Amino acid sequence: MRKKYCRGFYKIGYRLWYRGYRLRIFLLPIAFCLLPVFVNGCAGAKTARDDIKTLPWETYLLNKERQGRTEDTIIPPPQLHAYFWIAGSINLHLLYEPEEYSSPAVVDNKIYVGSADGYFYAIDLARGREIWEFSATGAVESSPTVADGRVYFGTNNGKLYCLDIADGREIWQFQAGAEIISSPVVEAGTVYFSSADDKLYALRAETGEKLWHYSRGYVKKVVRRVFASPALSGNNIYCSFTDGYIAAIEKSSGREIWKKKIVNSAEGWAGEDAGIARFTPTADNGLIYLIDGNRFLVAMDAENGEERWRFNVIKASEFAVGKESIFVAGYDGSVLAIKKGSGEAIWRRKVSQGIPVSAVIADKYLIVASNYKNETFLSTNTGSYVDMFTTGKGEKIWSENIDSTTSTSVVTAYNHLFLVTDNGYLRIYKSVNSKQ
């Protein structure tokens, strides 16, 4: 059934059911405008068809450097296209909804994402249906990585899985000593990941054989949950640990090249903001960017760990490194753009509401997800906003209010925007330039 409007069309959605409510797929109404030569978003952006780029998103924050910066084309305003319920069956014994920490990977128009209920899914983006699902032995809070026809992810009972992306068949699994909530990184036939007991592993990607492991040797009675994934650049891997150090490890041998204290004590990871601040480093152009224990953005020399500069104007919860600018998001809801070389401020804006928890760059737009909590005497209201700013001038051109918080990263791939919310939904937004 189709209703025509002006120069566009309106499609009535439908709903499919899988495995007795295990996966519910809702295809929602879609509205977008078509022009013969240019795709014209409601915000007025125009992009020639020849300039539209359609690219994958292979791992947490896009690539092994954790840069979160893609040239995939998103023309605003994105339209909510579909949402998938990935949280599994309702558990009546829980007095709360578990948070979802697995950010999707999107490769060859297939979405790969895990869930806190222990299931891992492959979803066909074009057809809007599940391809396969895999039942792991623990909660999947690790963001998957897709490489060479395989997908890698960890679970909270310390297993790293390697599956065939074609059918979800398990190829191998590796048992670590503690939970794996980091996202693996794969390069040249080796998969690297960290576990919650401050160990960094290198495995042979083909077989799961352990090549080496690095240990901080920090003895503690309670394992503190720090969501930090290793970044890889050049000959080294860079990883933050719960003892307050970041270390550079030689990827071929596991030998420590340098280490640097970024948090004064293990308690520096604690506090009510510990679960908000991002502790995964980004490698870019010979520098390592990360948020330290004071919640300031710091740039360090990748070769020796020496501090090159720090940005202490606001306490940072998130950041994104562009080609010419750095974007810093703070606990006060501010988003600042500064020049890479000089640190000179370019613009300063505010998110719609809340504390930023994710920031990525898609072509010429900065996309920020923020969580908010509104409390009154009678009720508490929580949710999230997704805001889209132009990278050049900081103009807010799109905003979406969602009735759930998010603990994952925004993903953009194949002219779509993806976000997993804590109430167990994978939300998919379609760019007006998308043909799917």
Structure-token pair, residue 70: 């893609």
Q: What is the pTM of this model?
A: 0.88
What confidence tens digit (pLDDT) does each residue in 299-320 have? Answer: 999 999 999 999 999 999 999 9
Q: Enumerate residues 6+ apart whose C-beta is below 8 A from 356.
A: 317, 318, 329, 330, 333, 335, 368, 369, 370
Cα(408)–Cα(324) distance, integer angstroms: 26
Q: What is the CATH number of the domain that holds 348?
A: 2.130.10.10
- List the single range of 31-40, 48-57, 424-433 with lowest mean pLDDT: 31-40
Is the model more confident about 95 or about 205? Answer: 205
> Please, which pLDDT band fits residue 50 given cuts at 50, 70 and 90?
low
- What is the model's pLDDT at position 270? 52
Residue 366: pLDDT above 50? yes
What average pLDDT score do residues 376-393 get? Answer: 92
The structure tokens listed for 16 are 């499919």
Using the structure block, give the residue that is written with the tokens 């991002």.
278
Phi, psi of 195 (to 5 degrees): -120, 170
Share of the chain above pLDDT 70, in %: 81
User: What DSSP string runs through 251-276?
Assistant: TTT--EEEEEE-SSSGGGG-STTTTT
pLDDT for residue 211: 98
Which pair of tokens denotes residue 215? 């240990």
At 213-261, the pLDDT tens digits run 999 876 555 556 788 999 999 999 999 998 899 999 999 999 999 999 9
pLDDT of residue 19: 39
pLDDT on residue 265: 58
Q: What is the pLDDT of residue 285?
A: 96
Residue scoring higher pLDDT (162 or 377) = 162
Answer whether residue 424 is part of any domain.
Answer: yes
Would the pLDDT of 154 be above 50? yes
**435 found inside a domain:** no
Structure tokens at 14: 């439908």
Q: Would 18 be classed as within a structural domain? A: yes
Flag whether pLDDT at 123 surpasses 60. yes
Q: Which of 147-151, 337-341, 399-403 has the lowest mean pLDDT?
A: 337-341
Examine residue 96 and state whether it is found in any structural domain, yes or no.
Answer: yes
Residue at token pair 């009546």: 92
Asked whether residue 254 is domain-assigned, the answer is yes
Q: For the purposes of burial, counting CB atoms within 10 Å of the CB of 4, is it exposed (0-12), middle (13-18) or buried (19 or more)?
A: exposed
Q: What is the pLDDT of residue 375?
A: 84
pLDDT band at 379 (very low <50, low <70, confident <90, very high): confident
How many C-beta atoms lie closer than 10 Å to residue 145's C-beta? Answer: 25
Q: Would 406 be classed as within a structural domain?
A: yes
> 352 lies in a domain?
yes
Per-residue pLDDT, 193: 98
> Which residues sit opposite 80 in a β-bridge?
429
Q: Would you say the C-alpha torsion 310, 355, 371, 322 has a positive or negative sign?
A: negative
Is residue 430 within 8 A of residue 108, CB to CB? The reply is no
In 10 A of CB 106, how many CB atoms? 24
Helix H, strand E, coil C: the string for 41-107 is: CCCCCEEEHHHCCCCCECCCCCCCCCCCEECCCCCCCCEEEEEEECCCCCCCCCCCCCCCCCCCEEE
- Domain assignment present for residue 436? The answer is no
Residue 84 belongs to what domain range?
2-430
Q: What percent of the chain clears pLDDT 90, i.e. is strictly above it? A: 73
Kind and range of the H or E run holding 238: strand 236-240
Look at 13-22, 97-106, 172-181, 321-330 and tell me which has the smallest mean pLDDT.
13-22
In the chain, how many domains are there? Answer: 1
Among 123-132, 230-239, 269-278, where is mean pLDDT lowest? 269-278
How does pLDDT run across 393-422, given as a tens digit for each residue?
999 999 999 999 999 999 999 999 999 999
Residue 353 has pLDDT above 80, yes or no: yes
> CB under 8 Å to 193, separation ≥6 — which residues?
142, 152, 154, 160, 180, 182, 183, 184, 185, 200, 201, 203, 229, 230
Supply the pLDDT for residue 51. Answer: 82
